[in-house]
Structure 1
């Protein structure tokens, strides 16, 4: 199993997704596209594609000129029925790739927040074993409309489209299910200036919020990651 991981920002951490891929003995091919790493021309050398988040928006072609090429690559993986996973910015790029409308701003969430699964999620290969509602880490300002033919799988009070599926195994997650407690602690330190500029009380709030939410969020995130990895090659 060979999995292409596209990083769109510094400080990306594979977290729960990396743990699930390691359990499956996957070969991980990381391309730091934001630093100029070349993307494959198509999906022929990989069994799956993972797209991680970033501080930019999904329409930022001027500052990230590889985006159009990445959109073509996403569509090629989907056309070949390869598993695809987009998280945060990755979900917004997936929406764009298949005709959704990106909405910049107006949907800010940070910290652990609850998401609620839809009726369709009850029979979904990745989410059917999850509870109807659970806390998970969020860090985003943007959202999107569902692409045509997409199946909404999860929502929150701030962003109606928290997760969707296209076809068999193309999955988009607005929430950061990859972010276990270790990743959250790392982001809090690595992006301290950005975080405290907007949420100055976060360092003080973190221990209590983690005590309430982190264990269940970590468990949920790893379960989602394992279920998605199980779609690869099917």
Structure 2
């Protein structure tokens, strides 16, 4: 199993998805596209595609000129029946690739908050792996409309479209289920000044919040990660 993972921003990692891939013995081909590392022209040579998050918006083609090629690559994998996973910005790019609208500059959704799965998720191969409601980490302002034909799988109080699936295994997941407490702690260190400005008190209260909500969030995230890997 060989999986292409595309990084769009510094500090983004595979987290629990990487752990689930390691359990399955997968080879990960990690491309820092935002740093100019080239993307493959097609799905040939890879069994699945992961598109990670980032601070930029999904329409920022001028600042990130590889975006159009990434959109084509997403479609290429999906149309070939291969598994695709877009997380946060990645989900917005998957939505865009399949004709969804990118909706920018909404109020920030940050921290551990509840996500609720829809009735359509009850028999979904990935989202059925978690309870009907579970806490998970969020960090985004932008969102998207569902592409035509997408199955709506999850929502939160602030964001109606938190997860969707197209075809067999093309997933867009807005929330950061890959981000366990270890990865969130790394983001606290790396982006501390930015977090302090937008979320006063988060860093000071983080340890208490992580102890309270983190175990359940990590368990849900790992269940989703393993379920997605089974679709590869």
Q: TM-score range by the shorter chain?
A: over 0.9
State the secondary structure of the residue aligned to 1:123: coil
Partner of 1:198: 198
Q: 1:45 maps to what in 2?
A: 45
Conserved? CA contact 1:52–1:88, under 8 Å: yes
Distance 1:74 1:145 in 2: 17
Aligned partners of 1:134 and 1:118: how far apart in 2? Answer: 12
Matched, 1:118 2:123: no
String of CA shifts for 1:142-185, please: whole Å, max 9, x gaps.
00000000001000111100000000100110000000000010
Any conservation in 1 of the 2:129–2:227 contact (CA below 8 Å)? no
Quote the Cα distance in structure 2 between the aligned partners of 1:100 and 1:129: 26
> Following the alignment from structure 1 to structure 2, what is the Cα–Cα distance between the partners of residues 142 and 60?
12
Normalised to the residue count of structure 2, the TM-score between the two structures is: 0.99
State the match for 2:170 in structure 1.
170
- Superposed, 1:149-160 pairs within 5 Å as 149-160=149-160
5+ residue gaps, structure 2, are none
Distance 2:138 2:80 in 1: 31
3-state SS of 2:113 partner: strand
Q: Distance in 1 between matches of 2:107 and 2:116?
A: 16
C-alpha separation in 2, matches of 1:192 and 1:35:
22
Q: Deviations over 1:59-98 (max 9, x none)?
A: 0001000000000000000110000000000000000000
| Number of residue pairs the alignment of both structures matches | 232
1:187 maps to which residue? 187
| Matched residue SS, 1:128 | helix
1:16-95 to 2 correspondence within 5 Å? 16-95=16-95
Structure 1 range deviating more: 198-207 or 69-78: 198-207
Mind listing any 5+ residue stretches in structure 1 that lack a counterpart? none
The answer (yes or no) to whether the contact 2:100–2:146 under 8 Å persists in 1 is yes
**8 Å contact kept, 2:162–2:173:** yes
Counterpart Cα distance in 2 of 1:12 and 1:74: 19
TM-score of the pair, normalised by structure 1: 0.98
Distance 1:15 1:58 in 2: 22
CA shift for structure 1 position 208: 1.8
Deviation at 1:107, TM superposition (A): 4.0
